[in-house]
Amino acid sequence: MTTTKRRCRLCRSPFSGRSDKIFCTIACKNEYHVRLRRATAYTVRETDKILHRNRSILLEIMGKNKKQKKVDRLILEKKKFRFHYLTGFYVNSRGKTYHYVYDFAWMTFSDQEVLIIRRA
């Protein structure tokens, strides 16, 4: 590691040290990460809300113990379920897409029906 002169990423103070160092002090490093987390928290809040709401809707429909349940798509639409908000997806060998919302998944069963699955 070479030692070079450079400026702190946060406060712009000049400092010297190992070439992979980007902050003058631990305090600047910590503050930088606090700001980064705050900016991220602010930006992702709306998406988180929609995903949390989607999960609540699925939980409400499924109840506590059911492993899977087929429902009319309208039931989800009436509850303002946002079909395009997912935590992931998986296409099985038969070409069926599992749309993940945390520990739940849903798939279109027919044009008007949705199968909701509780993931193990």
The residue ranges that bind Zn ion (CB under 5 A) are: 8, 10-11, 13, 24, 28
Shortest Cβ 49–Zn ion spacing (Å): 35
Which two three-digit tokens encode residue 105?
Answer: 């998944």
- Angstrom CA distances, 69 to 12, 64, 108, stand at 58, 12, 12
The radius of gyration of the chain's CA atoms, rounded to the nearest angstrom, is 23
CB of 11 to Zn ion, least distance (A): 3
Nearest residue (CB) to Zn ion, 25 versus 56: 25
Token pair in block for residue 26: 């631990």
Minimum CB separation of residue 24 from Zn ion in Å reads 4
